[in-house]
Amino acid sequence: MKIRINKFLGERGIASRRAIDELIVQKRITVNGLTLDTPGMKVSETDVITIDEKRIATTRPVPVTILLNKPDDCITTSKDTHGRKTVLNYIKIKERVFPIGRLDRNTTGVLLLTNDGELTHLLMHPSHESEKVYRASLDKPLSEKDKKRFEAGIMLDDKKTAPCQTKYFRDDKKDVIVTLHEGRNRQIHRMFNALGYAAEKLDRISYAGLDAGSLKRGEWRYLTDKEVSQLRGTEPRSIGY
């Protein structure tokens, strides 16, 4: 059965559907020798597909999903043109995996990587509302008033953030647990900045109900079948933060 090329390649972990569409517009993808210039073409495993003149394996790879406890000073990308360390420097496996979403260079904690494009699309879609829990270390105590303002939503880029949850992690009120379901660029940093605070350290404690457990910074593990089912929404999930 033929399906749209962006979904076809996304399911094989080549790139996100949006990224595939951009490659098509840039005329970097061919199908059976013909250069594509508009998204929408349908393909199957019998078609010969190339990206930048390199042939793409059209068979589905064995699904692999990994949880990494991301260290500091590390880029969440597959490659870096400036020679900086990326998350893939910590994962040495034969399968080609990609990060699900991003963490800033100096944000640590739970990061998922996979070659399962379908799972990536599911978790990144706004309707999925994947829960993300962070521990933010601030430059000064967070007042009760600002805590309530933060939870109610902050205007960023002319759009208010969705309501979220916060709670103090320490008595000095400088360490705060933040639970949200959005994933805007540098969202937590920008929300605190808007209230006059700086998040000096940010650690993602959990993503979609999964935490790092005993993994040290830079260590990783494969997810179990049950955990992958949990991510897909076919298993119940809970977290105690």
What whole-number distance in Å separates Cα of residue 34 and Cα of residue 31?
5
Rg for the chain (alpha carbons), in Å?
20
Annotated catalytic residue 52: no
Total residue count of the chain as it appears in this document: 241
Sequence-distant (6+) residues with CB within 8 A of 204 are 70, 103, 107, 108, 109, 110, 111, 132, 133, 134
Which one of the listed residues 80, 104, 146, 175 is annotated catalytic? 104
* Strands 107-114 and 199-207, sheet pairing: parallel
String of DSSP letters for 93-120: -SS--EESS---TTEEEEEEEES-HHHH
Q: CB-hemisphere CA count at 13 Å for 113?
A: 27
Residues with catalytic function: 104
